Homo-oligomer: A and B are copies of this chain.
Amino acid sequence: MKALLARDLALALRAGGGFGLGLAFFLIVTVLVPLSVGPQSELLARIAPGLLWLGALLACLLSLDRLLALDWEDGTLDLLATSPLPLEAALSVKALAHWITTGLPLVLAAPVLGVLLNLPAPGFFWLVISLLLGTPALSVIGSFGAALTVGVKRGGLLMSLLVLPLYVPTLIFGAEVARRGAVGMETQTPLLMLAGITLGVIAIMPFASAAALRVNLR
């Protein structure tokens, strides 16, 4: 398992590995928002927490198709499935690697991009907290989507379609925390819900993903 994590991280850092691309995408979407909705700063401040969450979610989503597809194409998944490592563990490790290479950088970059969108001052703290709690759920749910669509050539977009509705609860509670935080309201309830979702998903989702992957390998 440590070997798998190390390998996935190494691969992400190599040429074409996609480390930092999620980040770049996040950055660019954030930059394009003022270009498309116009530059009024009070408007931007109102939509900033929500759009930052949306941008992070999209960035996360887009890097998902690397999660399994590459290993599928070159036969690594077949070989992993015949190895002593249980698939559930392999998938959890892969989700973890995805979070480290995508979710974590997004969390760290979010405050900087918040400045670009005139995020009100108290919002920064809550934005980071909510992303830190929420992005692991995004990675884990995403690995389920990736496992479902791994047999489909260039399933990337199909995967988006399947995964996005599954992201809805996480997005709602996450954005709610950030939004309430930005205007100084109480954030405890959505924060607890967010944490609950993340924990539940981490505990249960790998089994569903492994089941889907086994079917696909068949």
> Contact between A28 and B164 (Cβ–Cβ < 8 Å)?
yes
> Contact between A65 and B28 (Cβ–Cβ < 8 Å)?
no
> Contact between A36 and B152 (Cβ–Cβ < 8 Å)?
no
Assess whether A15 is interfacial by the CB under 8 Å rule: yes
Residues of A within 8 A of B (CB): 15-16, 18, 21-22, 24-25, 28-29, 32-33, 35-38, 43, 46-47, 49-51, 53-54, 57-58, 62-63, 65-66, 69-70, 73, 152-158, 160-161, 164-165, 167-168, 171-172, 175, 179
Q: Which B residues touch A49, using CB under 8 A? A: 37
> Contact between A157 and B18 (Cβ–Cβ < 8 Å)?
yes
Partner of A16, one of B35, B47, B70, B154: B154
Q: Which B residues touch A172, using CB under 8 A? A: 35-36
Q: Which B residues touch A73, using CB under 8 A? A: 73
Q: Which B residues touch A54, using CB under 8 A? A: 29, 32-33, 36-37
> Which residue of the partner chain B has the closest CB to A18?
B157
For the complex, give the distance between the alpha carbons of A29 and B160 in Å. 10
> Contact between A18 and B58 (Cβ–Cβ < 8 Å)?
no
> Contact between B32 and A154 (Cβ–Cβ < 8 Å)?
no
For the complex, give the distance between the alpha carbons of A16 and B179 in Å. 37
> Which residue of the partner chain B has the closest CB to A162?
B24
> Contact between B160 and A21 (Cβ–Cβ < 8 Å)?
yes
> Contact between B47 and A152 (Cβ–Cβ < 8 Å)?
no
> Contact between A28 and B156 (Cβ–Cβ < 8 Å)?
no
Task: Give chain B nearest CB distance to A127 CB in angstroms.
Answer: 12
> Contact between B32 and A57 (Cβ–Cβ < 8 Å)?
yes
> Contact between B160 and A62 (Cβ–Cβ < 8 Å)?
yes
Q: Which B residues touch A35, using CB under 8 A? A: 168, 171-172, 175
> Which residue of the partner chain B has the closest CB to A54?
B36
> Contact between B50 and A156 (Cβ–Cβ < 8 Å)?
no
> Contact between B171 and A32 (Cβ–Cβ < 8 Å)?
yes
Partner of A51, one of B36, B63, B157: B36
> Which residue of the partner chain B has the closest CB to A151?
B16
Further pairs besides A32-B57, A32-B168: 14, Cβ < 8 Å: A16-B155, A16-B158, A18-B154, A21-B160, A28-B165, A32-B171, A33-B51, A37-B49, A38-B50, A65-B154, A65-B156, A66-B157, A70-B153, A156-B156
